[in-house]
């Protein structure tokens, strides 16, 4: 399960479940800048495992929106749903480190709580199914198909430290994360690690709402024989109420903005200005931004879109 040899790579990995909004596009711009400024390749992965929410044709529209801002990719896009065999091989490699879990999301939410000393405020799995007997598992299988969880530790809690270019050294307790959902599909944490390893991804740039998951993914990467990537968890775009930006907040997608006369070059200018990489109204290209880009000078607060 080692990552591929050769130069490292960054990536952008949208899910085709909704139109890309300004916050998504800003993260994509940052991912491109981080990769290109460090001499990395830049890859695209379509994360389409949430089949109940995937919308036909949306992945193509997302790629077109990215291209309209000047964001291109190296190589052939990876489609996550086509990598089932690799995900299953990873589960085989983890044999002996997993257990069946029959809990519903509601049961976990009711039972789990974040310890006061957990730096990431992460609600960890309470271990309800960790030590079931075979007889208890058989009884539960009769009414509910199990998910498969990672047994993160044999006794005492296991901690992992990641390096984040914006947040520094971040340490957290590793969770018993779900590796395979109870519908038989690879869970996000497994798929993202396996696919990053296969593509030689050594730099992950994404929203800071995913910072807590990085500790678990770094631990899983190590278990699968790889080296955890360097992370950059960037601030989200939020509305004036401080909530994560969504389509209901108005003209926040390229299509919506075009309908009110705001074209992609102006959108890129708006994104660049929010990163202190351009002045208001200054029309720029991604190539213009590259020599101006310095991760240490990036804003650390959410981007408020009114």
Residue 15 annotated as binding?
A: yes
Residue 77 annotated as binding?
A: no
Residue 125 annotated as binding?
A: yes
| Domain 95-234 indexed as CATH 3.40.50.620 | yes
Average pLDDT, the chain: 92
Residue 212 annotated as binding?
A: no
Domain with CATH 3.40.50.620 in the chain: 1-82+236-306, 95-234
Name 258's Cβ contacts closer than 8 Å, sequence gap at least 6.
264
Q: Which CATH number fits domain 1-82+236-306: 3.30.70.270, 1.10.10.60, 3.40.50.620, 3.30.590.10?
A: 3.40.50.620
pLDDT higher than 70, residue 1: no
Token pair for 140: 């539960």
Residue 37 annotated as binding?
A: no
DSSP code per residue over 33-45: HHHHHTT-EEEEE
Residue 149 annotated as binding?
A: no
pLDDT, one tens digit per residue, over 177-214 is: 999 999 999 999 999 999 999 999 999 999 999 999 99
pTM of the model: 0.92
Residue 105 annotated as binding?
A: no
Rounded alpha-carbon distances, angstroms, from residue 149 to 103, 136, 191: 11, 16, 13
Residue 188 annotated as binding?
A: yes
pLDDT higher than 90, residue 108: no
Residue 296 annotated as binding?
A: no
């Amino acid at each position: 399960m080692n990552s591929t040899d050769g130069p490292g790579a960054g990536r952008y990995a949208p899910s085709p479940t909704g139109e890309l909004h300004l916050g998504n596009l800003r993260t994509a711009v940052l991912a491109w800048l981080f990769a290109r400024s460090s001499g990395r390749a830049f890859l695209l992965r379509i994360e389409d495992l949430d089949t109940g929410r995937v919308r036909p044709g949306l992945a193509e529209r997302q790629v077109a929106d990215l291209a309209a801002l000047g964001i291109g990719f190296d190589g052939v896009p990876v489609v996550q749903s086509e990598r089932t065999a690799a995900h299953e091989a990873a589960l085989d490699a983890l044999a002996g480190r997993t257990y069946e879990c029959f809990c519903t999301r509601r049961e976990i939410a009711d039972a789990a709580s974040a310890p006061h000393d957990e730096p990431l405020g992460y609600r960890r799995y309470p271990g309800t199914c960790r030590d079931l007997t075979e007889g208890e598992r058989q009884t539960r299988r009769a009414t509910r198909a199990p998910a498969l969880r990672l047994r993160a530790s044999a006794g005492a809690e296991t901690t992992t430290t990641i390096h984040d270019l914006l947040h520094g050294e971040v340490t957290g307790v590793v969770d018993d994360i779900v590796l395979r959902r109870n519908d038989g599909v690879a869970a996000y944490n497994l798929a993202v690690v396996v696919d990053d390893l296969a593509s030689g991804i050594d730099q992950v740039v994404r929203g800071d709402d995913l910072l807590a998951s990085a500790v678990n993914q770094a631990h899983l990467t190590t278990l699968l024989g790889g080296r955890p990537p360097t992370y950059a968890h960037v601030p989200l775009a939020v509305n004036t109420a401080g909530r994560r930006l969504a389509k209901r907040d108005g003209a926040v997608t390229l299509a919506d903005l075009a309908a009110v006369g705001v074209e992609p070059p102006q959108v890129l200018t708006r994104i660049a200005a929010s990163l202190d990489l351009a002045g208001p109204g200054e029309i720029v290209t991604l190539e213009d931004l590259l020599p101006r880009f310095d991760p240490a000078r990036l804003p650390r607060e959410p981007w408020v879109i009114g």
